Amino acid sequence: MRIMTETLTKLLALFGGGAAVVLAVVGAAYWLFKLFSEKWLTARFNERLEDYKHKQQRELEELRFKINSLMDRTAKLYQREFDVLPEVWSKLVMAHGHVQSVASALQQYPDLDRMIPEHLSEFLDKSPLDNWEKEKIKSEPKKTDYYTRAINHHNAWVARNTYVDFYQYFRKNSIFIREELKSKFDALSELTHGALVEHELWLQDRANFNIWETRRRFVKEGGDLLKALEQEVQKRLWDSQSDSLAGANS
């Protein structure tokens, strides 16, 4: 360090004051360069930082939009499922009850042949049969046999319409039902329809139709399947409600 100082002193003495001026200019230039460089770097850094913040904000807004859209769609699906399940369950219960009524092996019919005319007229007035069928019964020698056939066909027709009402609603709205539940609705629907078809075939040809495999399964297993499905539907409805409340609170 001492040697460098002596060398610098000798150079200044050799070149005189001009060297001092040069050194001053060089020092000032270096200082200006350093000053403007720092400002340029700071400006570039701030520019890059603002650009980064802008991109981050835009990505956050896009993510927020996607999340809100997803939550809105999920809430709507939960609500639709919450509306569909009770209705499809209600229609299935009605269809199952009507088919169970007609498919049961134990059927009871009143003895119309023993009724006096006044009693017969009063009974037929309350019957769901058409008026022409009621008049036909009054003129039939075997009133009970005719009434039995007529009321069986009528009840089968009612059961068929009730089942179709359920099935059409179920097929139209099954996209809103979870697959594990949908498969159980399908299984009970198929069993119910099979029992109904067997009963209708028997009504058309009692002498030659004696296949009752599906009807026996329906009578034996249908009630248990319906009860198990009821528990699943109830559980899903309460789960949907809890999920909806959780989504709303979040």
Spans of all domains in the chain: 2-60, 84-249
Angle between helices 213-249 and 179-204 (to 10 degrees): 150
Position 12 scores a pLDDT of 46
Position 169 scores a pLDDT of 97
* Reported pTM: 0.69
Position 209 scores a pLDDT of 77
Position 18 scores a pLDDT of 52
- Cα 160 from Cα 104, distance rounded (Å): 15
62-106 confidence digits (pLDDT tens): 556 455 544 555 667 778 888 999 999 999 999 999 999 998 877
Position 72 scores a pLDDT of 52
Position 59 scores a pLDDT of 60
pLDDT < 70 regions, the chain: 1-43, 45, 49, 52-54, 56-75, 240-250
Token pair of 208 as six digits = 């030659």
Token pair of 39 as six digits = 């400002």
DSSP string, 120-176: HHHHHHTSSS-HHHHHHHHH-SSHHHHHHHHHHHHHHHHHHHHHHHHHHHHHHHGGG
For the chain, how many helices (H) and strands (E)? 7, 0
Position 125 scores a pLDDT of 94
- Cα 137 from Cα 120, distance rounded (Å): 9
